[in-house]
Every structure is written in C-alpha cells, then in structure tokens.
Amino acid sequence: DIQMTQSPSTLSASVGDRVTITCRASQSISSWLAWYQQKPGKAPKLLIYKASSLESGVPSRFSGSGSGTEFTLTISSLQPDDFASYYCQQYNSYWTFGQGTKVEIK
Amino acid sequence: QITLKESGPTLVKPTQTLTLTCTFSGFSLSTTGVSVGWIRQPPGKALEWLALISWDDDKRYSPSLKSRLTITKDTSKNQVVLTMTNMDPVDTATYYCAHLFGEFPFDYWGQGTLVTVSS
C-alpha cells in the first residue's frame, strides 16, 4: 500500500499569508497526485490534479508542484474563504489520502 | 451537470450489514473510462477510499477492507451499491460516493451520508 504523509497537521495563518502544505508518498507516484479542499460538513472539492494542474474554476492563487514522492500545495495569498482542511491523494496505485492539514485563522 | 447522492440507513447495529446506494445523473456508467467510487470519513478524521467500480465492471477494493465489501452497479438505474458486512462502531463515518473519469482523480462528489454504528 502507498502511504501519504502530510505536514503540518494544523497551520495557523492570516489573510494575505503565503501558505505551503507538504505531502510525501511512501514510494514514487510520478505525478499522480491530487489536492482537495474540505469545509466542515461538506464534501471534498478537487483543487489540483496531476500534481500541478488547476481544476477548472479554482482560483489561480492555488498551485501545486512536485513529482515522485514530494509534493506541495501553495496558496499564494490566503483569503477568508480558504480557511478549511486540505487533503492530498495519490491515484497511482489505487487511491490513498493523506491525513489532512487544517488551515486555521491566526 | 454531474450530481451524485448517497442514500441508506443512518443507524445500524454492530454485526449488521450496511447497504448504501449512490444515485447519479449527468453521466453513464456504460461510458468508457467512467468509474464511481466510495470514500468514507469518520468524524474529525481523514478520508479513506473503500471501493470503486468501472464502466467495464472492473471492481477494486481497499486491501484492508476487501473481505467485507461488495460493490455493484445498475447501469439502467444509474446506481452503484456498496455493501459492508459485520459493521462495528469504528465504521461510524460519513460515506461519500464520487465520480472518476479516466486518469483523473475523483472530481464530483455526493453530499455524503452519516452512518452511525451503535446498539
């Protein structure tokens, strides 16, 4: 099984901050990585696929990078609507999610 | 417009079998490349993929839960059914179904249904 490890688990930030979340895979997954945003009581929303491709309709302040085993999600300027939990997911071999990163208001 | 909606019991007893139905619209499970998966999320915890069925009836299961899961589809009704046997309180979670196409990740999700396992 491929394990996904996210860091940090919680992140405190202010509006306008640049935020980076890291995801590490237990083995190479090439670029088969997605990022989701989830708000309380809601289903996850796809933000990024293929490690760096922005899903249609997602603001350009979200970006993804990486390949192999190391990946990052960056929010260039945090907005009030961005306070949420974020999950990475590999889809190279079956589907595995990271444990999540909660972005809180500082 | 693609939509999915989960339905099933909100409360099941330990050892019982859970049956959940995902009813969808806006796509067909007979179209090449289309799949529907099930994912769950215990309260306050992370997402966990459970099972997936594809247009060609290929079925994939989480290795850790494979012995307890069965996924089927009814293309004519636009439904996918997941059964999970021998339910336990640790299986208490919100269960989601989601659409997948080709080499893309899950892009459309249902609203989720909370299932509580308790005697």
d(CA A46, CA A86) in angstroms, rounded, equals 10
The string of pLDDT tens digits covering residues B74-109 is 999 999 999 999 999 999 999 999 999 999 999 999
CB B24 within 8 A of CB B2: yes
pLDDT of residue B51: 98
- Pairing assessment for the beta strands A45-49 and A53-54 based on DSSP bridges: antiparallel
Using a CB–CB cutoff of 8 Å, tell me whether A49 touches chain B.
yes
Find all residues with CB under 8 Å of B67, minimum gap 6, and list them: none
A13 alpha-carbon distance from chain centroid: 16
Residue B84: per-residue pLDDT: 98
pLDDT at B56: 97
What gap in Å lies between CA B24 and CA B48, rounded to an integer?
21
Q: Is A99 on the interface with B (CB under 8 A)?
A: yes
DSSP per position, B78-108 = TEEEEEE-S--GGG-EEEEEEEEETTS---E
A94 and B46 in contact by Cβ < 8 A?
Answer: no
- How far is it, in rounded angstroms, from Cα A71 to Cα A73? 7
CB contacts of A87 in chain B (<8 Å) are 46-47
Please identify every stretch of chain A with a pLDDT value under 50, giving residue numbers as ranges: none
- A34 near B CB under 8 A: yes
C-alpha B47/C-alpha A100 separation (Å) is 8
Chain A residues with CB-CB distance to B112 below 8 A: 43
B106 close to A (CB below 8 A): yes
List of chain A residues whose C-beta atoms are within 8 Å of the C-beta of residue B106: 34, 44, 46, 89, 95
Kindly report, residue by residue over B27-68, the tens digit of the pLDDT.
999 999 999 999 999 999 999 999 999 999 999 999 999 999
Question: What's the pLDDT score for residue B101?
Answer: 97
Confidence label for B6 from pLDDT (cuts 50, 70 and 90): very high
